[in-house]
């Protein structure tokens, strides 16, 4: 069953409103999910820092995790401010590398 003409017009207007700046709703939703994931993991890392103190700072896996979170945030920021540049692509490649490296470190344990 096809949607009514008024519903179709509303859907088209909503879609053009999001795509006007080049951001699809799915892209925006994924960016929100990534930011939420980073925020929750950052809180977990701060809790670990509080509990472990100096032992936390001496573990190199924690440094990799923080670099991963920072590069992920820099990668996602252009979705919210509607500006894209080469820094976003560089941080995306760093994020992929650090994610892979982090996975290998966890599999090694």
Task: Tell me the per-residue pLDDT of 12-23, one tens digit each, with 9 for 90 and over.
Answer: 655 555 555 667
Report the pLDDT value the prediction gives residue 28, as an integer from 0 to 100: 87
Nearest to 79 by CA among 109, 34, 17: 34
Instruction: List, as one string, the DSSP characters of 10-61.
Output: HHHHHHHHHHTTT--HHHHHHHHHHHHHHHHHHHHHHHHHHHHTHHHHH-HH
Is the per-residue pLDDT at 44 higher than 60? yes
Please say if the pLDDT value at position 38 is more than 90.
Answer: yes
Q: Mean of the per-residue pLDDT values for the chain?
A: 85
Range in 31-40, 64-73, 85-94 with the lowest mean pLDDT? 85-94
Question: What is residue 21's predicted lDDT score, i.e. its pLDDT?
Answer: 61
E-strand spans in 58-103?
A: none
């Amino acid at each position: 069953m096809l949607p009514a003409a008024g519903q179709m017009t509303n859907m088209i207007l909503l879609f053009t409103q999001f795509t006007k700046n080049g951001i699809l709703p799915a892209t925006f939703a994924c960016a929100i999910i990534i930011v939420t994931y980073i925020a929750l993991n950052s809180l977990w890392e701060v809790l670990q820092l509080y509990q472990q103190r100096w032992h936390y700072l001496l573990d190199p896996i924690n440094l990799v995790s923080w670099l991963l979170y920072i590069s992920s945030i820099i990668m996602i920021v252009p979705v919210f401010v509607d500006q894209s540049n080469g820094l976003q692509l560089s941080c995306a490649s760093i994020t992929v590398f650090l994610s892979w490296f982090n996975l290998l470190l966890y599999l090694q344990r």
